[in-house]
Amino acid sequence: MKQLDPLGVFDAGMIVFGAPGRYVQGQGVADRLGSFAAQIGTSAVLVADALVLPLIGERLRASCDAAGVSLLVVPFAGKLGPGTAAELDAALGPATPEIVVAAGGGRAIDAGKALADRRGLRLITLPTVASNDASTSKNYVLYDDEGNLVEVRHLSRNPDFVIVDTLLLAGAPKAMFAAGLGDALSKLAEAEACAAGRGLTMFLSRPPRIAVAIAAECHRVLVAHGAAAWEAAGTGVPTPDFEAAVEAAILMAGLGFENGGLSVPHALTRGLPLLPGGAAQHGFQVAYGLVVHYRLMGRSLPQDLARLYAQVGLPGSLRALTGRPVTRAQMAPVVLTSMPVRHMLNFPRPLDLGQVLDAMIEIEAEADAARRVDGGETNAE
């Protein structure tokens, strides 16, 4: 038998499908976390975003107490870097919990993953915003002191439970929900590009057919329900549209990207923070990257997506993303930094720096022309 590589697959000729052990979504399901935790252990540590800990800490403790699961709390201060796992490990000290409960935004969840990875613990994720699909995946990202992504690491398996309380998510800011839409809307185009070429997924395997089907359903649901869901975001009242869009943005998008593969939109997120104003929410960066992706495919952003971009405020140009004009000289380092990212290989044809740079320049020129005609800038452009 061949020795397993670090991601747990034998070779790129295999098809691999990965998923969380259990996904639970509904209003108030955070109050049942203790019963879920009791299925995999009797002791847990809560790694939670310090900003949301007052909102959920006592609820989770009461739920765990009722289920006979002891719970320690280690607040996450917000900085996620190569030393975060060691810092959380030190804060935990001699305690030996069986489960990490990672709660909060994407960085807090990734901090919990880092601790689970370091100690080899089971993992439950509890997102408090729908800004990304980090809660379903096995990977986690680390940043330098300036906030630039420096490394992507991988757990040996996906989370055991993903607990999505839509009452919590509906109370989060609308901009965070829009970012989640931007991140999720790229998954179909990226999965299709990966499948059409010779791309590999997060499991270093070719994408199974079901991954593209999931990404396609994610796209369909978001186009149908995304705008109405965005209207409900921030109100604290989840509607049927909101429930549908959350399922797509977290579950379907998570399954779609890990099993279907990423491409140009996510590769560009490595370089976009180099721009003044470019360090926007991940989902807004991805939304802009999707416009570039379609241009490289010889197409404009499809009309259904363009309408949704305009409705929820997603950026269709670098100027819309950064809030200022961006020159060719400023674009070049973005592309240079993004080209070595493995996701750039997940495309139907080989891409080079000039092709990507030309696509970005064309998009800005068209957006500028549209702005002059309209007499003002629009987000979707």
pLDDT at 262 over 90: yes
Residue 85 near residue 118 (C-beta atoms within 8 A): yes
What is the reported pLDDT for 12? Answer: 61
Helix axes 303-312, 209-232, angle to 10 degrees: 40
Band (232; pLDDT cuts 50, 70, 90): very high
What is the reported pLDDT for 378? Answer: 45
What is the reported pLDDT for 83? Answer: 92
Q: State the DSSP H helix or E strand holding residue 311, giving kind and residue range, or none if neither.
A: helix 303-312
pLDDT at 167 over 50: yes
What is the reported pLDDT for 381? Answer: 41
DSSP symbol at 343: G
pLDDT at 2 over 90: no
What is the reported pLDDT for 374? Answer: 74
Q: Which of 2-11, 83-92, 191-200, 300-309 has the lowest mean pLDDT?
A: 2-11
What is the reported pLDDT for 375? Answer: 65
pLDDT at 245 over 70: yes
pLDDT at 18 over 70: yes
Q: What is the rounded average pLDDT for all residues in the chain?
A: 93
Band (282; pLDDT cuts 50, 70, 90): very high
Mean pLDDT of 85-112: 95
Phi first, then psi, for residue 11 (nearest 5°) are: -165, 170
- C-alpha span between 10 and 31 (Å, rounded): 40
What is the reported pLDDT for 280? Answer: 85
Mean pLDDT of 165-191: 97
Mean pLDDT of 66-75: 96
Q: Where in the chain is the domain with CATH 1.20.1090.10?
A: 174-374
pLDDT at 6 over 60: no
Report whether CATH 3.40.50.1970 matches the domain 22-170. Answer: yes
Find tokens 């997603």 and name the residue: 314
CATH code reported for the domain at 174-374: 1.20.1090.10
Mean pLDDT of 28-37: 98
pLDDT at 290 over 90: yes
Q: Considering the chain, what percentage of its residues have pLDDT values greater than 70?
A: 95
pLDDT at 144 over 90: no
Closest by CA to 116, choosing from 89, 90, 137, is 89
Mean pLDDT of 112-139: 96
Band (51; pLDDT cuts 50, 70, 90): confident
Q: Which two tokens stand for residue 349?
A: 């044809």
Q: Where in the chain is the domain with CATH 3.40.50.1970?
A: 22-170
What is the reported pLDDT for 10? Answer: 44
Mean pLDDT of 235-260: 98
What is the reported pLDDT for 150? Answer: 84
Listing DSSP states for 191-253 in one string gives HHHHHHTT---TTSSBPPHHHHHHHHHHHHHHHHHHHHHHHHTTTT---HHHHHHHIIIIIIH
Band (77; pLDDT cuts 50, 70, 90): confident
What does pTM read for this prediction? 0.92
What is the reported pLDDT for 1? Answer: 25
